Chain A
Amino acid sequence: MASPDQSELSRSVRQTHRRLRRLIGLGSLLLVLLLVRIGWMQTIHTEHFTSLSTDNHLRQIPVAPSRGLISDRHGVLLADNSVQYNLSLIPSQVDDLDTTISQLRELADIHDREVRQFQQRGQSRKFETTPLKIDLSEETIAQVAVKLHQLPSVYLEAYAARRYTYGKSTAHVLGHLASISKKDRERIDLYRYRGTRRIGRAGIEHQYESLLLGTPGLQQAEVNAQGRSLMLHDRKSPTPGSNLILTLDAGLQKVASEAMAGMEGAIVAIEPFTGDILALVSAPSFDPEVFGHSINPDDYQSLIRDPQNPLLNRAIQGQYAPGSTIKPFVALAGLESGHAIPDKQFYAAPQFNIPNYRRPFRDWKDEGHGWVTVSSSITQSCDVYFYSLAYRMGIEALAPFLGRFGLGQAQQLDLPGELPGLLPNEAWKRKTYSQPWYPGETVIMGIGQGYLLLTPLQLAAATATLATRGIRMKPRLLRAYDQDGEVIKSPPEEIGRVTLSNPAWWDLVTNAMVDVVHAPNGTARRSGLNAAYRIAGKTGTAQVINYGEKRPDSDDLPENIRDHSLFIAFAPAEAPKIALAVIVEHGGHGSTKAAPIARRLLDAYLLRSL
């Protein structure tokens, strides 16, 4: 290669320099263009990017309001909130679930079932904290808290759990909370449920959900790219839900619930002149906290498969033949329609016959009651008298009169799921069975059998109407609630009045009912012994199956077809403070099971306040 001479070299150096100038010049131009572009972004579009930047690191985190507390008429707390801790994961952040779980198993007792549940739940909410183990023990919380920094996807999540002070005994009245379902989501205002995971599923919790819920607050959290909160700023505090004051008397509710232990049935106690429900019990019951955060499927299955059906609220959903507890009402119907005359003697044979009808209607007393009046027929529960009275009145007079007491109608109690029962009449029979009404069906309705079906609530409300001498108060559970620091009372509401041509007939029936409990020939005399006040009551024994002509002794029957035992009462008879209905399924005669329970309740309620 020939060595280039000096002038050629210097020309080439000049050329190279020119090329470098051009190349660097081109690059500089591009760099300036980039600067212009950046200037554009940082001036004209900066607001757009600033808001993106702010959204990036500030998250609005809804803060669930604390649910309203529920207390009884004396301020005794029935439902409140307590803090529980969950061990939660954000599924999208978990790289290796098996490893994470085996790490966590060293700290907490985690069942395979909980892992499966977590996986199910996690599928639909990959970016939210999803509980793996709920309601940690103090010890576990401490152990997890120490190791938390080593477990980046794991969170200790505090949440408010609902506690029911009286547990099982108020389960049917208060209801429970459940996870918000897909169906709920379509119905509710999702904005109000931001941060809230559970919703009132039954009972008062469901009925007054919108009062109890409250309004969510907002917190602003500075979060990093992993979504972990670094700092929290308060923006808007949540508004707690309204506290409810119920008409219940917690003490009485507890006594009622204990009195029903091991039995199936219901108790409803009402304050007659206000309609306040003092106690409402359905047995058997269940633990409402089982539903607490997320019900264990096994527990749920055993609840719904239980042949005793503990989830059924028998007090408002159980429909029973009232048996002889209907007799005071039938007596009033007879007096009002003129088919029963006070003090008029009636000979009660062992059985009652309808003309041209072969089948006799037998009295429960084989030898018959002999000479009776309308009053003594109530006291002794004489079937034949009421067969005859009902037959003479006819269904067209009897059914509408019973309807005036609200029987066979939903009582509009502020509790979801109430059933109406059935007050049959000719039109109903034709519509349902395409058959005429037979006179024999009126006859047995006189003693509360046949098609007639009442809920314990209806029976208690009708008994309260006896106590008020015709004033029908709307049964209610909510007495008052607070809102924005103000107590809003819900006043008692009269929904109708049963008027009689002669008000003295109220006294006649009340006195006959007092005799049921206190007279030597009363059917519930054993339950009236040594009472410090006077009780007006009526026993009832409802047949579960039709035995035909001869009615066997209840005690000889297997339990599942044994008669239901019923009792209605109000007391003190002169100035009633409480009216109630007690039903014990397959409890036999009204005087054996239901009446003693009623006495226990009356003592508890009336003597405590004396």
Chain B
Amino acid sequence: MMTLSETAVAGPSFELTEEQRMLQDMVRDFATSTLAPRAAAYDRSCEFPHDNVKEMAELGLLGVTVPDTYGGAGMDTLAYTIVIEEIAKACASTAVIAAVQNSLVNFPLMKFGTEEQKKKYLPKLASGELIGAYSLTEPGSGSDAVAMQTRVRKEGNKYILNGTKVFVTNATGAELFIVYATLDPELKSKGVCAFIIEKNYPGFSVGRHEEMMGVRASGTSELILDNCEVPLENLLGTEGEGFKIALATLDVGRLGIAAQAIGIAQACLDYSLGYAQERKQFGKAIATFQLIQNKLVEMAVNIDAARMLLWRAAWLRERGQNFTKEASMAKLFASETAMKAGIEAVQVLGGYGYTKDYPVERYFRDAKITQIYEGTAEVQKIVIARHLTNPA
């Protein structure tokens, strides 16, 4: 069986390996039969989908790229993006939960964690025994992460953290949190540290649950750190290395969000295409009208282009090359594709698309966040522009 890294010698492959195809089929079956029927109810109730998460864990989808020595599936980046895309086609909330676990929690632990930290946490994360969350954003520091105000100080044999974090995906369902804090805001990026925090540490609590327009079941909440005590050994990386960890994590995270966006866009296309072939007006299926065909074609072309951008970024990463620009490009293009597809899917269904009897209005609401989290579309453009004007 060829793996991606073997085929990569000659260039990127447009074909999935047998292993990746089997994974895609398996996740697609699971998402269609199990996640899709629950998606509307979770969207409505905003409850954290514990059953979805448990079943994903059983299929190994919460540790896709974690090496098998740590209990993971040991697969590559492309496999990971396939998993997220397939889940997002059925339920965008569940997809972001899986994306956070895989790319924002497992990844920084694998890359920057000590052997002890990896042994302690990775097997439990990969098996779903622990659900993870990631916490960088603060009320006054969104796109501008360096402006963070959450403080950390060392006191005896522990770190003490104080501050408030917002928009923490998975927070209501998670037991383990990667949290950033600064030794001193004056130090700017050099003062940032990353910590591994267990839910039961003194001074740690989950605050207000956000009611959001989309990805409503993603457990997004505030975190409150009130003299939160963290053992010294739970510093991730070294003191002051946090900003570097955050940036590296965001590169990987953007692949997950791009995959989520592509999944949402594909769901929009699939549903619109089916509807347009069924729905008759003026005596003909509306799919025979040029204006409707135009929408379906635009969706299909953009989705394919987005997927190719994503696969290129995944391929670069597997080769160990810098993929920051390519991850930003994939995330930017995929999220714009998802938003456009959401808009047009509602339009194809017309009045019916505006109701909750059909899933497309949910796709439309879910699509918007992909242009905002892991860096807004505007931030992606800044990242890309920097690489264009200062090539490495």
Question: Real complex partners, A and B?
Answer: no
Residues of A near any B CB (own CB < 8 A): none
Residues of B near any A CB (own CB < 8 A): none
